[in-house]
Structure 1
Amino acid sequence: MRPFTRIRTDLESTPEREPLLRHPKLATFTCRSTTKTPGGAQADATEDQLVDVHITPLPRRQLVVLCLMRCTEPISQGLIQPFINRMLEDLKVTPERTKIGLYAGCITSLFAFCQLCTTFWWGRLSDHIGRKPILLSGLTGLSISIISFGLQTSFVGLVIARCLAGVMNGNVAVVKSVLAELTDDTNKARAFALLPMSGALGTIIGPMIGGYLAQPAEQYPELFGNIVFLKAYPYFLPCFIAGLTNLLAVLLGFFYLEETLESKANKKNKQRQINSDETHGGDSSSSSTDHQSDDQPVDGPPSLRALFTPTVITVLVSFLFLSIQNSSWATLIPLFSYTRVEDGGLGLTMTQIGTALSANGFVAVLVQMVIFPMLQQKFGTLRLFRGVLLFVPLSFAFLPLLRYLTLRETNSHGPSQGSKVALYGLMFILAIKSLTGMGMVCMSLLLNAAAPSKSSFGALNGLGQSCSALARTFGPASAGALFALSINQHHLGGNLIWVVAVIVCLCTCVTSWLIRVESSPIKRK
């Protein structure tokens, strides 16, 4: 009997430097085979085999639509970051400026809690009724919620608007499922790198919209100073623009996005072929032959118990810790930047915060388009994931150092010079942190590699996003509360929040070493 042979692909070939949407090409991979004998002994073959593999071209039109859908969420999320603290001040939710962060964290956490309650079920539902209906309904709900957010005049109204966004927003998991179904082992890494790149574009556009269009009657009195509506609702304009981007994604998705769920796609293709046969008068024998592939049974979604394999559990635990540190970072950066220098922050304005976050988005795009494909090809997904995590505690540790330099420069040369140090220093730290965005791409690849079957992509990515939502439920509120506690009580000189953040990041690094996922072998040509 022929022994069982497992082929492990070592992605150590020539680094991939071509654009992500390049035409298909032939690539050479080094494959090492491991042979298991009938007696159970394992022998490693020392031979390396060079295999020519045809790289499948990426479906460009589908990717453009998916990238736009992925881009709209960070636009809707990021646009509130520059002005949320000022908005809460205007609503007079608390008389103490140092407690604004607690309320801002609560708004973020409520959004994530609602997303936690629904994301898995959106993904699970997409495994049954298809990906496209879920994506379109989610984008529509997100559009309604962000527009209504700009019309609120009370804290309760803000909470309701964000909860609606959380309930309707399960799209990230479904987009990842669609991408996994559109790609194979030869182009999956390049395709998944486009998602965080699209998210990075959203982080550029969102803060710019929020920072430059909030309070337009005050910022641009010559243009909007006489518009009473914008004076009454100073944060409506950026929210309305974000809502339009979601509606644009809905329209493009409706007309151009194809269904990828295998059972639904086969049924649709079969009906198209039948209609074509009827139109061209095809006979039954040829029709039977043409439909043979479509008539093959498609496995249904696995049970919930079947999803929780040991490999899936370890990946999800790492995903949870990764999301905790990322959500805490996303909350702390605007809060830390907005807080006055004498209170423990950087004292930046809304426009400066928006500029820094947007500039970081350009760096993130460069990382995803150029650096990630090259490093993933050279080191492999898991090794790269473990490596980039080391930059996160470093980024957190730099923040109190920047505040010290800003305070010293402010006392020595005045607030103007201190503000410059704070702004450029923040941009530098954000650039370092943007390198860790590769970790989210690696996590997506690892999660899909751990899937029991293709029919479980929706549920499994839903579980991953549920872990992310769980982290964003407690992470931002905890980070905001701990930041307020640190600067009010001056624990560890006001640096308690940064010490805790570094510890959490180190825990994330530890969890990455528990993962044991091998990339699927690249089939020989």
Structure 2
Amino acid sequence: MGDEFRADLLEKQYHEGCPGCLVDKTKEVRRGYPYAELSFIWVIILTTSLPISSLYPFLYYMIQDFGVAKTEQEIGYYAGFIACAFMLGRALTSVLWGVMSDRYGRKPIILLGTITIAVFNALFGMSTNIWMAIATRFMLGSFNCLLGTIKAYAMEIFREEYQATAMSAVSTAWGIGLIIGPALGGFLSQPAEKYPSVFTKASFFGRFPYALPCFTISAFALVVTAICCFIPETLHNHELDNKTSDDDSVEALEAASLETAGMTGNNKRTSLFKNWPLMSSILVYCVLCLHDTAYSEIFALWANSPSKFGGLGYSTNHVGTVLTISGFGLFSFQVLLYPAAERLLGPVLLTRLAGALMIPVQMSYTFIAHLSGIPRSLLLTVASIFVNVFSVSAITGMLILQNRAVDQHQRGAANGLAMTSMSLFKTVAPVVSGFLFSWSEERQNASFLPGPQMLFFFLNVIVILAVCLTFRPFLVTAARRR
């Protein structure tokens, strides 16, 4: 009974007026599936993921309308700069938002994030030149403080047995957002051309052909802002170690608690950079996210590009349809199968398996392009479902490891660090993908990996690297933390 008993007593101490203690107390007595909490996580993650990928179906045509590309082959270069502006802005500010959420709470940072999405995404939709598009995307990324904060929030609002489900919900909603976003961008862009009976060329959405999908996402963000006013705060507003007391038993309980957490009074604020279980999982996570972003851009550009360049020649509607169906497949897997798969295999083994299975599926894309009609559409949709399922499953495993590697007082900063690192990788991904896409269109008759074959070879190299990094001695896992 010694140390474990004393630590258990300390864990059950609740402080009057502390929102974090209120949440912990509610978790102690609550039973049943946490539907409400999962719903909050879902809508918030959807809000932050929709603007990231909604531009991909129409980015090709937006660059054409700006008139900056002298040839079709140059479109990929400029598309990369617009896509990476968001990630650069997020990379510069994510640690700041993580520290702010640790200091001032998760809820105010979440509210700030949803409001700024509504503002800057609407402004992006009204861009009239490439510089305005880059500037608004950069501001959108700079104030994108939701993903890191909500990952910390998800680990704190759920009981331990539902934390894998929580991380799965984060990844699933993120993946669905990256599917629904392009669908909205595909179906709602250029409405005056697609739906002339509803929108005329002289109307607002006729003069700003890419504003409708952006305004739709901004309206959703405003609704989510109103919903977030009612979510509970999870951060504790008290510090046990700062309280003065002559009671030796209290000091003993505090010492026992710190020992249980793997800390002492001198290293309670251990540098995150010295936490190798955290840092190794972040690095694997970054490589997986590099692939995720590169795949999203390459797939959309390849599907939109003409068949003479090895593409599919799909319209924005067609690309949107494929990605929407993929989203339903991803949703079904993550909700119904992922939690059980994670319990059976563990996050590390599941990440390795997902990465290994992704490789042959991506290799199949260039062969699918040689087909036509229904067989091509069917196989393309199935392959898209598999790639998205495997990619999100691998990323989810790393999210679980990251949040298990730190305690609550560092969780916001840790997720902010992960967001900054990931955003730096995602800043590089669109630029490299854009250059690689333009280069591939110029080498259709090359003897080694001609045309789009080079694109999917590049994606597979990234996946192989990520899988290799999941083995020891590089990746180290940590025990569960509070």
User: Considering the TM-score relative to the shorter chain, is it more than 0.5?
Assistant: yes
Aligned CA distance change for structure 1 residues 131 and 302 (closer, same or farther; 3 Å): farther
- Shift of the alpha carbon at 1:71? 0.8
1:234 aligned partner: 209
Aligned CA distance change for structure 1 residues 161 and 65 (closer, same or farther; 3 Å): same
Amino acid at match of 1:257: I
CA distance in 2, matches of 1:176, 1:241: 25
1:367 aligns with 2:321: no
Aligned CA distance change for structure 1 residues 96 and 479 (closer, same or farther; 3 Å): same
Once the two structures are superposed, what CA deviation does each residue of 1:436-483 show, in whole Å capped at 9, x if it has no partner?
1111221111111111x2111101111111222011110121012112
Question: The residue matched to 1:348 in structure 2 has which SS?
Answer: coil
The one of 356, 374, 377 aligned to 1:423: 377
The one of 446, 461, 467 aligned to 1:503: 461
Once the two structures are superposed, what CA deviation does each residue of 1:359-387 show, in whole Å capped at 9, x if it has no partner?
11101101110110121121122211221
1:74 aligns with 2:40: no
CA distance in 1, matches of 2:212, 2:3: 66
- Shift of the alpha carbon at 1:185? 2.6
CA distance in 2, matches of 1:224, 1:483: 33
CA distance in 1, matches of 2:126, 2:78: 18
Aligned CA distance change for structure 1 residues 94 and 265 (closer, same or farther; 3 Å): farther
1:257 aligns with 2:231: yes
- Shift of the alpha carbon at 1:204? 4.3
- Shift of the alpha carbon at 1:91? 1.4
Contact 1:120 1:465 in 2 (8 A): yes
Q: What runs of 5+ residues in structure 2 fail to find an aligned partner? A: 5-27, 241-253
2:222 aligned partner: 247
Contact 1:55 1:187 in 2 (8 A): no
1:185 aligned partner: 160
Aligned CA distance change for structure 1 residues 484 and 55 (closer, same or farther; 3 Å): farther
1:474 aligned partner: 428
Aligned CA distance change for structure 1 residues 319 and 197 (closer, same or farther; 3 Å): closer
Aligned CA distance change for structure 1 residues 301 and 124 (closer, same or farther; 3 Å): farther
Give the paired residue count.
432
Question: The residue matched to 1:462 in structure 2 has which SS?
Answer: helix
- Shift of the alpha carbon at 1:106? 1.4
- Shift of the alpha carbon at 1:178? 0.6
The one of 27, 39, 64 aligned to 2:39: 64
1:516 aligned partner: 476
The one of 170, 187, 200 aligned to 1:195: 170
Contact 2:111 2:228 in 1 (8 A): yes
Contact 1:54 1:186 in 2 (8 A): no
2:244 aligned partner: none
The one of 327, 333, 346 aligned to 1:380: 346
More helix by share: 2
The one of 184, 190, 193 aligned to 1:215: 190
CA distance in 2, matches of 1:378, 1:392: 20
The one of 438, 449, 461 aligned to 2:415: 461
Aligned CA distance change for structure 1 residues 265 and 168 (closer, same or farther; 3 Å): farther
1:286 aligned partner: none
Amino acid at match of 1:230: F
RMSD, aligned α-carbons: 2.9
Contact 2:60 2:301 in 1 (8 A): yes
Amino acid at match of 1:450: A
1:18 aligned partner: none
Question: The residue matched to 1:82 in structure 2 has which SS?
Answer: helix
2:308 aligned partner: 342
- Shift of the alpha carbon at 1:334? 0.3
- Shift of the alpha carbon at 1:59? 4.2
1:163 aligns with 2:138: yes
Deviates more, 1:128-137 or 1:313-322: 313-322
Pick the structure with greater CA Rg: 1
2:22 aligned partner: none
Instruction: Give 1:255-404 correspondences, 5 Å limit.
Output: 256-263=230-237, 303=269, 305-403=271-369
Deviates more, 1:483-492 or 1:245-254: 483-492
- Shift of the alpha carbon at 1:346? 1.3
1:205 aligned partner: 180
TM-score (norm 1): 0.77
2:243 aligned partner: none
Amino acid at match of 1:154: N
CA distance in 1, matches of 2:271, 2:360: 38
Aligned CA distance change for structure 1 residues 355 and 486 (closer, same or farther; 3 Å): same
Aligned CA distance change for structure 1 residues 300 and 441 (closer, same or farther; 3 Å): farther
Amino acid at match of 1:107: I
Once the two structures are superposed, what CA deviation does each residue of 1:229-268 show, in whole Å capped at 9, x if it has no partner?
22211111111111011111111111x11111122799xx
CA distance in 1, matches of 2:113, 2:290: 24
- Shift of the alpha carbon at 1:110? 1.4
Contact 1:327 1:471 in 2 (8 A): no
CA distance in 1, matches of 2:363, 2:268: 43
- Shift of the alpha carbon at 1:488? 0.6
CA distance in 1, matches of 2:341, 2:282: 23
- Shift of the alpha carbon at 1:521? 9.2
- Shift of the alpha carbon at 1:77? 2.2
- Shift of the alpha carbon at 1:496? 2.5
- Shift of the alpha carbon at 1:401? 1.9
- Shift of the alpha carbon at 1:393? 2.1
Aligned CA distance change for structure 1 residues 188 and 265 (closer, same or farther; 3 Å): farther
CA distance in 2, matches of 1:214, 1:387: 37
More strand by share: 1
CA distance in 1, matches of 2:384, 2:233: 37
Contact 1:396 1:502 in 2 (8 A): yes
Aligned CA distance change for structure 1 residues 167 and 249 (closer, same or farther; 3 Å): same
- Shift of the alpha carbon at 1:431? 1.3
